Amino acid sequence: MGNYRFILSGGGTGGHIYPAIAIANELKQRYPKAEFLFVGAKDKMEMEKVPQAGYKIQGLWISGLQRKLTLKNLMFPIKVISSLIRARKIVKQFMPDVAIGTGGFASGPLLKMAEKVGVPCVLQEQNSYAGITNKLLAGKAEAICVAYDGMERFFPKEKIVKTGNPIRSDLVNLKVGREKAVQFFDLDTSKKTILIIGGSLGARRINQLIEKELGFFEAQGVQLIWQCGKLYYDEYKKHDSESVKVLAFLNRMDCAYVAADIIISRAGAGSVSELCLAGKSVLFIPSPNVAEDHQTKNAEALVSKDAAILLKESELDEKFEAVFLEVMNSKKMQESLGNNIKKMAMPKATEHIVDEIEKLLK
C-alpha cells in the first residue's frame, strides 16, 4: 500500500507555494512510494520553485482579474475556459487520490475539475481573510484547513479544521543559541538587534522607512539585520556597515529570528506563522496593496490578543519612532508581546493538515 497519487496546486506568491511544498514533503515522508504532481500558473514563481523542491509541475494559462478595465481582463474568460479544459485533462491523466489546494489562481480550475470527476479535495487557507479562490471552492471541499479563528464567516462551519499554517522544519525547533546566531551575521553580541523583513522580494515602504531612520537607530545604539529583498538590494547595499547588515535574502531564518530582540515585518500569512514560533516582539507594517487588505487583517488578529503591534504605512512618519522606543525601552512589554505571540504558534500544522488528507484516502 501507499502507492497514492496526490495533486497539489497553489501559487502566485510564496505564501501559497511553500505551504503546498511543505504538505507534499510530509505526505512523501509518510508514503515514500506516492506520486506527486503540482499544477501552477504558467508565468508565476511556482514554475521555478516547485522543481527546485524536487517535484513535477504543469502550468495553466491563468491569471487574476485586474482591478481596472484592461486588455488582460478581456482575456480572462478565455483563460478560464482554457485552464478548465487543460485542468480536466491533467486530472484525468494523473487520476489522483486526493487534490490539495493552497490558494492562488491555478488552484481554482484544478480543484474545480478534480471535484467534478469525483476526486476528494482539501483546501488550506493561510490568511485570516479568505482568498477568493478558496471561497469559490469551499462548497465542494471535504475539509478546509485554516490558521485563524472566526473563519466560518467564509466557509461552511462543519468543514473547518483549525490546523495552523505549514512551517519550514528548521524553524519548528530553533536549535541555534543567541550568541551563535548574532555572530553568524558578524554583529556584536552585547548590542540589541533589530530584524527587518519585507518578504522575499522586499517591501519598498519599509526600506524607505529604515533608510530614513538609520541615524535614529544609531542614536539608540542598536544594530540591524536588514533584509531589503532582491528587488531593492542594489539600491540599499551602500548602507551595509559594521552595525547594519543589508541582505537581499536571509538564508538562515533560524539565526535571524534567534538573533533578533525586536522584529519589523510585513504581515503575510507565512511570516505571521513563523513569527509566532519565534516568540519575539513584533512591529507589523502590513502591505496595503494586497487582495482584501488581508495583511492588515492578519496583523489585527494578533493585535487583538496583545501579541503584536500594528503600524499602518500611512502612520509611519508621525508614529514610528515613538512606538519603537516604547517597545525598546520596556523589557516588560517585550516579554509580554513575546509570550503572547508564542501562545499562538501551531508548530504541528503540516502534520495536522496531512492527518486530514489521510482521512480521505480510500
In the chain, domain spans: 5-167+347-358, 170-343
pLDDT at 1: 66
pLDDT at 78: 75
pLDDT at 251: 86
Low-confidence ranges of the chain (pLDDT < 50): none
Which of 117, 82, 125, 107 is CA-nearest to residue 7?
A: 107
Q: Binding site annotation covers 108?
A: no
Q: Which fold has domain 5-167+347-358?
A: Rossmann fold (3.40.50)
Q: How far is CA 176 from CA 159, 183, 195, 252, 349, in A?
A: 38, 11, 16, 10, 22
Q: Binding site annotation covers 13?
A: yes
pLDDT at 42: 84
pLDDT at 163: 96
pLDDT at 64: 59
Q: Which residues of 226-237 are buried (b: 16+ CB within 10 A; e: fewer)?
A: bbbbebbbeebe
Which of 76, 136, 89, 94 is CA-nearest to residue 6?
A: 94
pLDDT at 71: 65
Superfamily the domain 170-343 falls into: Glycogen Phosphorylase B; (3.40.50.2000)
pLDDT at 358: 96
pLDDT at 69: 60
Q: In this structure, what DSSP letter does residue 224 have?
A: E
DSSP 255-276: HHHHH-SEEEE---HHHHHHHH
pLDDT at 131: 86
Chain centre to alpha carbon of residue 177 = 25
**From CA 254, how far away is CA 248, in angstroms rounded?**
16
- Cell numbers standing for residue 198: 519585507
Burial of 176 (0-12, 13-18, 19+ CB in 10 A): middle
**From CA 70, how far away is CA 85, in angstroms rounded?**
24
Q: Binding site annotation covers 14?
A: yes
**From CA 17, how far away is CA 4, in angstroms rounded?**
21
Q: Are 113 and 140 in contact (CB under 8 A)?
A: no
Which of 266, 228, 319 is CA-nearest to residue 15?
A: 266
